Amino acid sequence: MSKTIFSSPGKYIQGFGILSELGEHLKAFGSNALLVADDIVWGIVGDSCVTALETAGVSYTYNAFSGEASTKEIARIAAIAKENGTNLVVGIGGGKTLDTVKAVADDLKQPVVIVPTVASTDAPCSALSVIYSEDGVFESYRFYNKNPDLVFVDSQVCVKAPLRLFASGIADGLATYAEALAVQRTNSNSMVGGRPSIAGMAIARACEETLLTHGVAAYEAVSKQLVTPAVEAVIEANTLLSGLGFENGGLAGAHAIHNGFTAVHGDIHKMTHGEKVAYGTLTQMVLENRPLAEIEKYIRFYRAIGMPTTLKDLHLEEASYEELLKIGELAGSSEDTLQNLNDTLTPDEVAQAILAVDRLSNALK
């Protein structure tokens, strides 16, 4: 019998300059925190985090994230937590750091607090992680019994991150409603194992509407490191609305094709998650046979925020057809979500759609 499930983090807090309050909020979950961030992020916000925890009387151990959300890295960080007797895991940074920290907290059966420093992915709010090999190849989704206990977003910190990452978050968020509609149409399950709920679909739709309405204005503001109402709206859409929307609405072609891109070598691996999702969203739209005007609308929007819409933009202009078939094959694996779009799609059909996006974009002036 089918069922409807809605899942969400325990609490979401967003605001300008709130990082100084982090320690007070952590006290509700533990007294000895393991803080995980990469060296770049720690260099930017480390002092502020330490001051906030010391002021609140929360003990901590810091460990640097190595850069890949792999099984080996998860085990390494969990071992450090055990050695230091921590009782709370805090992830500070971007998507792969946060996905790793969620897995560590799950292994330790401890609360997890997520502190995004970029509004670049929908990873912070979800009860899942994307697991990669140590070489960065997609392996699987890892699911958890609960979402993060707290997601804590300082908008002042987020606008200081590279503009490209902010735009990537918009592109990642724009896949939310497109994929949720596909899941609903094929009567597939969402990422929490049930049919998309009314609430989940409404949130996914609000995510798309917010990004299309305010995305370009927010992009321009963030280019000057300004926090405006449009920026606050887009940070919320990139982080909360997209996170709740994809998890409760489901994933389909856009993210599966993103994962498929990990099957090929080259400079495409210098592209961000959102940049690859943007091209995956356009490819899904071609596979759905969406009206040309709708696809062109998305292409123009992506161009306005610097997202890739051609194979040259993705550094795949020299890719062979055999490499495109590898992308389609990995996207269609049983571990991924392409079947939520259409369970009969072949690697050839995906490869043809990837090429079609390139042609449509190059033809659009």
Domain ranges, ordered by start, for the chain: 12-158, 163-363
- Mean pLDDT of residues grouped by 10 in the chain (365 residues)? 88 97 96 96 96 97 94 97 97 94 97 96 90 89 94 97 96 97 96 93 98 98 98 97 95 97 94 96 98 98 98 97 97 94 97 98 92
- Residue from 25, 122, 154, 258 carrying the catalytic annotation: 258
SS3 label, residue 113: strand
Pick among 3.40.50.11740, 3.40.50.1970, 3.40.47.10, 3.40.50.1980: CATH of 12-158: 3.40.50.1970
Catalytic residue among 106, 122, 149, 172: 172
pLDDT in tens, 242-300: 999 999 999 999 999 999 999 999 999 999 999 999 999 999 999 999 999 999 999 99
3-state secondary structure of 130: strand
Read off φ and ψ for residue 153, nearest 5 degrees: -120, 115
* DSSP letters spanning 184-207: HHTT---TTSSBPPHHHHHHHHHH
Tokens of 59: 């003990």
Instruction: Name the catalytic one among 25, 149, 255, 358.
Output: 255
Active site residue 255: yes
Strands (E) located in 283-359: none
**Could you report the per-residue pLDDT of 212-256, keeping only the tens digit for each?**
999 999 999 999 999 999 999 999 999 999 999 999 999 999 999
Which residue type sits at 147? N
Q: Which of 25, 122, 214, 273 is the catalytic position?
A: 273
Hey, what CATH topology would domain 163-363 get?
A: Dehydroquinate synthase-like, alpha domain (1.20.1090)
- Element (H or E) spanning 357, and its range? helix 347-363
What pTM was estimated for this model as a whole? 0.92
Q: How many CB atoms lie within 10 A of CB 97?
A: 26
Q: Is 38 part of the annotated catalytic residue set?
A: no
In a 13 Å sphere around the CA of 160, the CA atoms on its Cβ side amount to: 15
The two tokens of residue 348 are: 């050839």
Q: Using only C-alpha atoms, what is the Rg of the chain?
A: 20
The closest alpha carbon to 123, from 32, 181, 191, belongs to 191
